[in-house]
A and B are shown apart, each in its own frame.
Chain A
Amino acid sequence: MGFEFHTSSLKAAVNWARKFSLFQYPFVTACCGMEFMSVAAPKYDIARFGAEFPRFSPRQADLLIIVGTITERQGPALRRIYEQMCEPKWVVAFGVCASTGGFYQNYSTMPGADQVVPVDVYIPGCPPRPEQVLDGLILLQERIQRGEGHSQIAIEAEKGYDVPLAAIRPLGSTHRKEEP
């Protein structure tokens, strides 16, 4: 009993540290990139939320932000970048194109980046407003704190730990206001 208590609070501390030290890799492809610039620029300043530093190598990053339309031709590149990142890693789909394909439904665009990589947080909008992006980032941080990121779950499962079923529930059913 006491042991479990210690591990879980240690986990919480680790997750707490993780959520404020996100090193992001922006996979910028399209128009959303312009809004992404705005998010990083002085006025909205994503650095205030602990996701400061864009790393331009996926090997140094743990947050992949997919910004813009993913086409079929880009799929292999995206997959490869995701595989190069170290565990645990998180993925944010920025904009409707990265989430579902948006209003591009045709032979070349992929209906959402989650066809290729697992996505933790979807930020809708075409392009999403910077405030929305910050909101999405906070959602992700809370997800990290709870240990519900896709790759966090995968690591736990690999180690043979019991994964709480609640952790796999779809993101839409949780809201951060409900959390203590």
Chain B
Amino acid sequence: MDTTDGPLVPPQHRRVVLGFKDAEDLEAPDLPTESLPLNMGPSHPAMHGTVRMVLEVEGEKISSADIQIGYLHRCFEKESESATWTQVFPYTDRLNYISPMLNNVGYALAVEKLMGIADDIPERALFIRVIVGEVSRIADHLTCLGAGAMELGAFTVFLYALKAREWLFELLEEVCGARLTSTYLRIGGVHFDLPPEFGPKLLDILARTRIVMSDIGKLLERNRIFRDRMDGIGIITKEDALAYGITGPVGRSTGLAYDVRKDHPYLVYDRFDFDVPVGSVGDNFDRYAVRVEEVNQSMRILEQALATIPAGPFMINNPRVALPPKSETYNSIEAMIAHFKIIMDGIHVPPGEVYSYTEAGNGELGFYIVSDGSGRPWKCRVRPPCLPAVAVLTKVLPGLFIADVVPTFGMMNMIGGECDR
């Protein structure tokens, strides 16, 4: 809670630097250093998205960090205020653009909560949402792990991770027609049913992804360079995580066992058996390990969901929300009018305010929606899960070396679209 305490020092026993016992030995006390401002970004290869860091360094040591975000402010809120409720979906895709399905899920749940139709969503739609969401989550973590490792020089890991991500993207493309920006969910359900043979294909991909994950683990976990740059670097305490509102893998790495899927189950997550990995130190390696384990848990969820998914409709049976089937739209005047009304006027959402939260790739993704009863949102605020994780860097970075910025920042998994919206 206290913002004034000093910089965090990595635990000495975990850091071994090239024959020196600990980091302090590296400092030659008789060399005078002068503090120097150092600018990183906004276009820097290790800055996912764009962010600018102005570091004050003394020698190699960072004494203060000013992190400037906002280089990717695309005005999600202003845009959604002039879009109909359904038209907001494409904008949500581009928040966390590695796992667009999870953002779609968050937004759809928020609007359904506001409309009070959350209980009428068919079971199959709920399962489909879980499945595509977890596939997205795996893609998200794979990208973070691969990119994080690449920044430390492990290019092979990056290629392996992208290979696996490519399989997942192609599977999602079969589901919704787009590799990345899916816009697959709709208020009241999902747009299409799963394609035939989806289950076997997904299981096959999961089996192959497991092999990739174990390869990545073999390449990294006992790799001296990787461990030296991850262990004990960038420690976040549990108190900080609470005060800053850090959730998701970064929050859990500090020992804060908070996962929306477990604590406030939404969709059908309460029917699956899965574990929430929690770290103990809160350093970079914990964040890496939590992500790896979450991939495994997502695979478990997927397997259970595929085994239990029921047949049936995938869209709510409510003509005010769901578009009529195409065959009717083209053949009957009533259906055509209904179609026209929903497309042009948008879905009618009663006035009110709601805050709905789901677990996205980076933590609690909240949508705070204010509706005034017109066809468009009055305010559609998204609570960005990675903004707090980036904000805490101003506190974590001082005391670290310049070279530690890259792995620390990489493991925070800042996604520009979501952080700056």
Contacts and interface: CB of A to CB of B under 8 A. Distances in A.
Contacts of A43: 163, 166
Interface of B: prevailing SS: loop
Contact of B97 (A31, A56, A81, A129): A31
A34 B72 contact: no
Interface string B39-56: 000110100111000000
A109 B71 contact: no
A69 B42 CA distance: 14
Contacts of A78: 43
A53 to B, nearest CB: 12
A106 B79 contact: yes
B163 to A, nearest CB: 6
B181 interface: yes
Contacts of A69: 72, 74
In the complex, which range does the number of interface residues on chain A fall in?
20 to 34
Contacts, number: 91
Contacts of A41: 158-159, 162-163, 166
A27 interface: yes
Interface of B: 42-43, 45, 48-50, 70-75, 78-79, 90, 93-94, 97-98, 143, 147, 158-159, 162-163, 165-166, 169, 179-181, 416-417
Interface in A20-69: 27-31, 33-35, 37-38, 41-43, 54, 56, 68-69
Contact of B43 (A31, A38, A77, A126): A77
Contacts of B74: 30, 69, 71, 104, 106, 108-109
Interface of A: 27-31, 33-35, 37-38, 41-43, 54, 56, 68-69, 71, 73-74, 77-78, 81, 103-104, 106-109, 126-127, 129
A106 B147 CA distance: 31
A29 B44 CA distance: 10
Contacts of B158: 41
A103 B162 contact: no
Contacts of A127: 179-181
Contacts of B49: 28-30, 33
